Amino acid sequence: MLTETTAPAPPAVQVRGLTKSYGELEAVRGIDVQIAPGEVFALLGPNGAGKTTTVEILEGYRQRDGGEVVVLGLDPGRQARALRSRIGIVLQSTGVDRYLTVAETISMYGQYYPHPRDVEEVLSLVGLEEKRDARVLTLSGGQQRRLDVGVALAGDPDLLFLDEPTTGFDPSARREAWEVVKSLAAIGKTVLLTTHYMDEAQHLADRVAVIAAGRIVAEGPPSSLAGRDLVRPRLRFPRPPVAVPEDLGATPVAAGPGTLEIVTETLTGTLYRLTSWAISAGVSLDGLEVLRPTLEDVYLELTGSEPPAAGQDSAAGTRRTRRGRRRSDAASHAEARVGGRGTRR
């Protein structure tokens, strides 16, 4: 390894062209990921997308078929032993000894590491102080999951892998788990988490990669994923009884029965012109909406898990291009779909 003095910190995780097959099934088909130290990175994707496969290759549990993987400067395929004292792992499904108490469990796992974190500190990070002397057996599902995170934190790792930390939780347990992940970010840990939930990725992650069928189909901060922020907003309103003026900044188009839509570059100006015209003309615009693609729209579009829709509008064109898409057309894509959805309603 080179000695760097002024260069920025090397990435905590660096993956290039990662591939993995199980027999005929290509579970991971060339994934590139880079995670900076201190970053919270979410791998977002539907069932069977290849999230666990990817994460377990990075953890050293599974061997990759191809590609380059460096985690904390080590190759998990060959240096798993050295890597393990520096990472914390929360597996998708896992257990601990059910007859030990919460505090005993954390201290037992902590002693495996060269620099364990103080048990009480771990307990407060994961919010299990009150359960410190309870047997694992008696914990609720959400509490057990927090204990899983606690165990992963016991060795004070630099990097944490959380494979679906909140799947199966009720909404309040999810909120609690989110607080735990946020507290990890606050103490400077690098976190790679996987999830099915858009809101989770949006809430927790600095950066999100959407993975579908073994490929990353979009990547970026949740706010601008797949060019979400670049998609022009649309104004939708009921068709007024009188003609709409021409000088609104964009031409209104019909979007379903009795509804008009304006796609605009200058939202504020268009909105101002539209509403001042409406007031002076005595036209009611009740039901006026400003529409943008949500992260969920983008996700469903990218992963192709949207239920099939009726009609042969622009969404049909969208669907045709769904397979074999590249990341660069994701933005125009999201836009196309949003238009399509509007007309279907």
Partner 1 sequence: MSGVDAAPGRSAGGPATSSAPLRRAVVLTLNQVRFVNRAFWRNPASAGFTFAFPLMFLVIFTALLGSGTVHLGARTVKESTYYVAAMAAFAVVTACFTNIAMTTTFQRDQGVLKRLHGTPLPPAVYFLARVLHALLIAVLLVVITSAFGALAYHASVPGGATLGRFVVMLLVGAGAFCALGLAITSFIPNADAAPAVVNLTILPLLFLSGIFIPLGRNAPHWIVGVAKVFPVYHFASGLQAGYLGTSFSWADVGIVAAWGAAGLMVAIRRFSWEPRV
Ligand X SMILES: Nc1ncnc2c1ncn2[C@@H]1O[C@H](COP(=O)(O)OP(=O)(O)OP(=O)(O)O)[C@@H](O)[C@H]1O
With beta carbons less than 8 A apart as the criterion, state whether 191 and 185 touch: yes
- Residue 212 binds to ligand X (criterion: CB under 6 A): no
Q: How far is the CB of 3 from ligand X (least distance, A)?
A: 37
Q: Backbone phi, then psi, for 90, in 5-degree steps?
A: -115, 110
Site string for partner 1, 113-142 (x = CB under 8 A): xxx-------------------x-------
Q: How far is the CB of 50 from ligand X (least distance, A)?
A: 4
With beta carbons less than 8 A apart as the criterion, state whether 315 and 208 touch: no
Q: Which of the stretches 58-66, 125-133, 281-289, 292-300 binds partner 1 when contact is defined by CB under 8 A?
A: 58-66
Our measurement of the distance from residue 50's CA atom to the centroid of its chain's CA atoms, rounded to an integer in Å, reads: 14
- Residue 77 binds to partner 1 (criterion: CB under 8 A): no
User: Could you say which residues in the range 75-104 bind ligand X, by CB under 6 A?
Assistant: 92
- Residue 334 binds to ligand X (criterion: CB under 6 A): no
Strand partners, 14: 34, 70
Q: Which of 11, 35, 42, 51 binds ligand X (CB under 6 A)?
A: 51
**Of partner 1, ligand X, Mg ion, none, which one does residue 50 interact with (CB within 5 to 8 Å by kind)?**
ligand X
Q: Which of 92, 101, 107, 167 binds Mg ion (CB under 5 A)?
A: 92
Q: Which of 47, 172, 268, 328 binds ligand X (CB under 6 A)?
A: 47
Q: Choose among 133, 18, 135: nearest CA to 71.
A: 18
- Residue 314 binds to ligand X (criterion: CB under 6 A): no
- Residue 188 binds to partner 1 (criterion: CB under 8 A): yes
> Beta strand 13-22 with 66-71: parallel, antiparallel or unpaired?
antiparallel
**Of Mg ion, partner 1, ligand X, none, which one does residue 27 interact with (CB within 5 to 8 Å by kind)?**
ligand X
Q: How far is the CB of 91 from partner 1 (least distance, A)?
A: 6
Give Cβ neighbours of residue 326 (< 8 Å, ≥ 6 apart): none
- Residue 168 binds to ligand X (criterion: CB under 6 A): no
Question: Environment class of residue 231 by beta-carbon count within 10 Å: exposed (0-12), middle (13-18) or buried (19+)?
Answer: buried
- Residue 165 binds to ligand X (criterion: CB under 6 A): no
d(CA 92, CA 134): 23
CA distances from 231 to 226, 252, 298 (A): 9, 17, 11
**Of ligand X, partner 1, Mg ion, none, which one does residue 48 interact with (CB within 5 to 8 Å by kind)?**
ligand X
Q: How far is the CB of 43 from ligand X (least distance, A)?
A: 8
> Beta strand 87-90 with 159-163: parallel, antiparallel or unpaired?
parallel
Nearer to Mg ion, 52 or 259 (CB): 52
Q: How far is the CB of 191 from partner 1 (least distance, A)?
A: 13
Site string for Mg ion, 34-73 (x = CB under 5 A): -----------------xx---------------------
- Residue 33 binds to ligand X (criterion: CB under 6 A): no
Q: Which residues bind Mg ion (CB under 5 A)?
A: 51-52, 92
Binding site residues, ligand X, CB under 6 A: 22, 25, 27, 45, 47-53, 92
